[in-house]
Structure formats: C-alpha cells, structure tokens
Amino acid sequence: MAIITISRGTMSGGESLAKRLSERLSVPAVSQEILQEASSRSGISQSLLLQQLEKNKGLIHGPSPERRFYLTAIQLALAERAQKGTFIYYGHAGHLLLKGVPQVLKVRVIAPSKRRARKLTETLKISFEEAQKMIEKMDEGRIKWTRFLYNVDWRDPSLYDLVINLDAIGIESACEMILCALSRPEFREAPESQAIIEDFILASRVKAELATHNRTKGLELEVGAEKGMVNITGSFQTGGIFPSGKHKIKNDLIEVAQQVQGVKKVQIGIEDIPVALE
C-alpha cells in the first residue's frame, strides 16, 4: 500500500482527514511524531526545530547550514518511517521530502479562506478579521518557505496526485476518493519498491552525516544512492581567482560518507565557484 502525504493550510481540514483515513486503513497518521524523531536524532529541541523550519526571515540570503541540517534530519526520520510500511503524513512538505520514494500518494487539501478563518475564530476565540489576517500570513509563509527551499509553489496542483476541496466534499467522501486511488496499479507496491526505499534511506543517512561532520557541514549537497553506490553532487565557493581546496573537499566527502554503514563506493560530482577578490 502507498504512503500518503497530506498537504494542507491551517484549518483546511487536512488533519481531520488524516485521522479519519488512519482509522479506515488501520495505519498510523503522523505529524509531530516525525519532528520528535528528528529532534531526538539531531539533539535539538522540537520547538527549535519547528521554529527554524517555519522561520521566513533571512530567506533571501540563502539556506543556512542549520536549516539544511534540520531538513535533513526530518527527511531521514521520514525515510526510516517509510521502511516500516504504510503511514499517513500530514506535516511539513512531506511530498517534497519523500521525493523519489515509490508509491507515495500526494494529496492536497483546500478550503475557502473564509471558512478557515471562521474555524480559527472559534478555536482561538479571536475576531474574524484577526483570523483572516493570521490565515493570510501563514499561507504566505508556506509559499515563501517551499519556493525558497524547493523552488516550487506550494499551491501548484501539479505537485499532487489529488486536490480535494473539503468545502464541497465531506471527509468521508474524501476518504473514499483516496481509497479508490490507493487501489489503482500506480500505488500498489512493486517488487523493486523496497530496494528503492533502502537506497533512499542510505542517501538520507549519508546526507545527515555530511550535514553534521565538522569537515563537510555547511556545503550545499545532493545525495543519491543505488545498491550501496553513493553519488554526491553540489557546488562550493572558493576564495580567489584560482580555485583551491577542491581535492581536499572531495576527499573529505568520500571519507565522511564511507563512515555510514552500507556505503560501498562514493562518486563525487562537485563544482567549485571562484569568488573574485576585489
């Protein structure tokens, strides 16, 4: 059975849908649990992890090493959860963090902003106008966050397999639509699925190791894996007209990656970008 990710705005009904699906399918629905696992692995508090993920200030200056590390920790927690079997994730950009994992049913839940504002008004006991402003601010933050980190628009329907309007469709009907999709061949587990997940986990573990090691943290890297073969790509800046240190960085990447259990061989494809001194 597929993994299900549910992307939703505040008070759009995505959490209710995830919990009802969990009951219907008898599989876990997780959100904060992934943050807890990532927090435990990374050694930082869950509140700080969430704060860093949702922070929008300073985005124009590029992703900080800390934020890249936090995202890597969450991706690894999701990867290891995928190894255990089917689950429903209604958290931060699960459909983007699980990119490459087979049989992931990506669901986007929407609802009119006025309906969401009314729900927020009832929950927080605030005025309708205040609730509307909060909804707009939170939506804007999510748009900036996903555009900055993944270069995509969170609202783009092409990122999802199903887009469900919970203003027009009830929770039970939405569940039926998702169950119908799960029964289709595209979301049935294939013989090679487990191997792909194992590769994804290995790549995530290598990426986490690189993000925390003193010799390699801070570098913008992409990591892929296939049957123990790890491929590391990315770029870094050198401080002069004549690039230096490229071979050292390559050696460091290889040595650090090889510390991860399951890595058989490492291939490096990095580009150095010279920064001219004025």
CATH of the domain at 64: 3.40.50.300
Distance from C-alpha of 230 to C-alpha of 224, rounded to nearest angstrom: 6
Q: Verify that 45 and 135 share a domain, yes or no.
A: yes
Q: Verify that 29 and 110 share a domain, yes or no.
A: yes
9 near 138, Cβ under 8 Å? yes
- End-to-end Cα separation, the chain, in angstroms: 58
DSSP, collapsed to helix, strand or coil, labels residue 236 as strand
Q: Verify that 226 and 155 share a domain, yes or no.
A: no
What's residue 171's pLDDT? Answer: 96
Q: Verify that 50 and 119 share a domain, yes or no.
A: yes
CB neighbour class for 183 (10 Å; exposed up to 12, middle 13-18, buried from 19): exposed
- Please identify, among 187, 216, 238, the residue that sits at the C-terminal boundary of a domain: 187
Q: Verify that 15 and 65 share a domain, yes or no.
A: yes
Beta strand 229-238 with 220-226 is antiparallel
Structure tokens that stand for 147 in this block: 């555009």
211 near 72, Cβ under 8 Å? yes
Q: Verify that 74 and 11 share a domain, yes or no.
A: yes
pTM given for the model: 0.83
What's residue 206's pLDDT? Answer: 96
- Please identify, among 187, 219, 248, the residue that sits at the C-terminal boundary of a domain: 187
What's residue 276's pLDDT? Answer: 45
- Please identify, among 187, 220, 247, the residue that sits at the C-terminal boundary of a domain: 187
Q: Verify that 174 and 199 share a domain, yes or no.
A: no
Q: Verify that 117 and 209 share a domain, yes or no.
A: no
Q: For residue 53, what are the domain limits?
A: 3-187
Distance from C-alpha of 34 to C-alpha of 79, rounded to nearest angstrom: 10
Structure tokens that stand for 269 in this block: 């494809």
Q: Verify that 74 and 12 share a domain, yes or no.
A: yes
DSSP, collapsed to helix, strand or coil, labels residue 89 as strand
Residues of the chain with pLDDT under 50: 58-61, 240-243, 275-278
Nearest C-alpha neighbor of 75 from the set 51, 94, 103: 94
Question: Count of domains in the chain?
Answer: 2
What's residue 212's pLDDT? Answer: 87
What's residue 134's pLDDT? Answer: 94
Query: What is the edge-to-edge ordering of all strands in the sheet holding 104-110?
Result: 29-30, 88-89, 3-8, 104-110, 162-165
What's residue 160's pLDDT? Answer: 95
What's residue 277's pLDDT? Answer: 41
Q: Verify that 181 and 200 share a domain, yes or no.
A: no
Q: Verify that 13 and 134 share a domain, yes or no.
A: yes
In angstroms, what is the C-alpha Rg of the chain? Answer: 21
CATH number at residue 235: 3.30.1340
What's residue 241's pLDDT? Answer: 46
What's residue 71's pLDDT? Answer: 81
Beta strand 162-165 with 88-89 is unpaired
Q: Verify that 43 and 159 share a domain, yes or no.
A: yes
What's residue 275's pLDDT? Answer: 47
What's residue 47's pLDDT? Answer: 73
What's residue 52's pLDDT? Answer: 62
